[in-house]
Structure 1
């Protein structure tokens, strides 16, 4: 499970490198600027969701069909939300 923008960005980077693409090449394929890919891969939390999802699909990350996905059974570990950022 991806729990942060940093983890998501690292996954995009990993898949991009598996394709043998530079950040510039991925940006061209996604129709975004290179700066966006740099920010995404560095885990910038304010990256735009739509562009992030396009980048993920472009490098081959299977996001699954959320409508048909059955929610996993809740466990005590799932209740630990300590990984979420805290805002004051």
Structure 2
């Protein structure tokens, strides 16, 4: 079910929940997504300077996607 994500902290919490639901440890997800464990820790903690490209790699690895809603047409 879609859920609104409006902060990096909420995104990090979602990633942590999904990782745990899939029975993955942080090192497992880091290896699968091609990132470091430290990066996974920082994203799950909601660090605002996380590299967005790597965040998308992590989301893809977990089978998650991003849907942007409410944009006005110019």
Shorter-chain-normalised TM-score: which range?
0.7 to 0.9
The gaps in structure 2 that reach 5 residues or longer are none
Give the 4+ runs in structure 1 shifted more than 4 A: none
Instruction: Report the secondary structure of 1:27's partner residue.
Output: helix
Q: What is the TM-score of this pair, normalised by structure 2?
A: 0.83
Root mean square deviation, CA, Å: 1.8
Question: How many residues of Structure 1 are paired with residues of Structure 2 in the alignment?
Answer: 69
Q: TM-score, normalised by structure 1?
A: 0.71
Deviations 1:19-60 (A, max 9, x none): 100000000001111000000000000000000011011112
- Which is higher, the Rg of structure 1 or of structure 2? 1
- Report the CA distance shift for 1:28/1:3 in structure 2 as closer, same or farther (over 3 A): same
Cα offset, 1:62, TM superposition = 2.5
Q: How far off its partner does 1:73 sit?
A: 8.1
1:36 paired residue number: 39
| 1:8 corresponds to 2:34 | no
